């Protein structure tokens, strides 16, 4: 039986940075408090023909960042969030620690994240997992009109109840962004590779992804980004009797991100995503949708 509702947790597809958009750089220590609300249809990606579950909850997140090192060349940041769910899910806590350094030509950000009891949508299972993740993002802008980006991540998942689902995942991607049209219209293309190694080999897969994104900042206080992404998975199990033998999935997704600053302190955020799956394995196609609404206060 399908239930309707809303969920609040760090975004499953984009991570906790997804709602952190353009705020002008400042000197000194900065703090921020955020409240987010998320409406998620078919959270655990049940097949279209099966009963589906929508979940609800609430999240509070605190953020702190400031200059560190000689001359404040680096910016350190920390994020801590608490998410409460309905539907019998345990609450989840997330902590992120990172470093950022940048100029007009170069920008580097590295971060470590740990979350406990995060709802998992990466495998064919309904469960929560403890997730540890390392991420890196490097931007190079050798010319005013062109920006090159490199992105990478390493992730480990440990499940509370699902047997054989513990896994490791890696991904690497590159993107090219054109800025010559001005702040109002900036297109980007990207391509990435990844693989998930699962204790149960029938769940392991290789993944490719490609995306097109348009970013618009028509005024300083407003950020908009519309993206189309296609992820393709090829399951790697060698046992011809396994249910995922030879399985291939196409997973297209549309997403929209918006952030708006009202004055010096108040921030508003919106994130929407629609994703579907077209699989060579019968009976596992799904459709899911997410809407996140948030507000923040900068101290």
% residues pLDDT > 70 (the chain): 91
- Contact (CB, 8 A) for 188 and 174: no
Residues 6 or more apart whose CB falls under 8 angstroms from that of 278 comprise: 249, 250, 251, 252, 285
| Residue 11 included in any domain | no
Range of the domain at 188: 16-298
CA angle 296, 86, 55 (to 5 degrees): 80
Structure confidence by residue, pLDDT tens digits, 180-227? 999 999 999 999 999 999 999 999 999 999 999 999 999 999 999 999
Q: Are strands 57-68 and 30-41 parallel, antiparallel or unpaired?
A: antiparallel
First vs last Cα of the chain: how many Å apart? 44
167-178 vs 186-198, strand pairing mode: antiparallel
> Which pLDDT tens digit goes with each residue over 138-182?
999 999 999 999 999 999 999 988 778 999 999 999 999 999 999
Task: Count how many domains the chain has.
Answer: 1
What is the Cα–Cα distance from 258 to 216, expressed in whole angstroms? 10
Is the entire prediction scored with pTM above 0.85?
A: yes
Residue 197 lies in a domain: yes
Contacts of 35 (CB under 8 A, 6+ apart): 58, 59, 60, 61, 294, 295, 296
Query: Would you say residue 2 lies in a domain?
Result: no
The answer to whether residue 4 sits within a structural domain is no
CATH code (residue 154): 2.40.160.40
How far apart are alpha carbons 142 and 107 in whole angstroms? 12
């Amino acid at each position: 039986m399908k239930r309707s509702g809303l969920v609040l947790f760090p975004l499953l597809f984009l991570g906790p940075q997804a709602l952190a958009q353009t705020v002008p750089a400042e000197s000194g220590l900065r703090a921020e408090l955020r409240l987010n609300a998320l409406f998620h249809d078919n959270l655990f990606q049940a097949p279209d023909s099966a009963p589906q579950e929508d979940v609800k909850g609430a999240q509070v997140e605190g953020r702190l960042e400031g200059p560190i090192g000689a001359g404040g060349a680096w910016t350190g940041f920390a994020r801590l969030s608490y998410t409460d769910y309905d539907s019998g899910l345990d609450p989840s806590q997330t902590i992120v620690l990172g470093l950022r350094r940048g100029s007009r030509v170069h920008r580097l950000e590295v971060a470590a994240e740990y979350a406990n009891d995060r709802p998992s949508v990466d495998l064919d299972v309904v469960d929560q997992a403890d997730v540890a993740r390392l991420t890196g993002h490097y931007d190079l802008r050798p010319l005013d009109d062109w920006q090159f980006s490199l992105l990478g991540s390493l992730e480990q998942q440990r499940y509370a109840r699902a047997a054989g689902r513990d896994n490791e995942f890696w991904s690497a991607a590159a993107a090219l962004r054109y800025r010559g049209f001005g702040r109002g219209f900036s297109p980007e293309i990207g391509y990435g590779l990844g693989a998930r190694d699962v204790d149960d080999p029938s769940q392991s897969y290789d993944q490719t992804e490609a995306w097109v994104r348009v970013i618009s900042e028509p005024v300083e206080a407003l950020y908009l980004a519309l993206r189309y992404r296609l992820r393709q998975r090829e399951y790697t199990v060698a046992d011809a009797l396994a249910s995922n033998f030879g399985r291939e999935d196409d997973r297209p997704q549309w997403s929209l991100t918006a952030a708006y600053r009202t004055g010096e302190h108040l921030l508003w955020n919106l994130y929407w995503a629609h994703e579907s799956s077209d699989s060579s394995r019968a009976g596992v196609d799904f459709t899911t949708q997410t809407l996140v609404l948030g507000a923040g206060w900068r101290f």
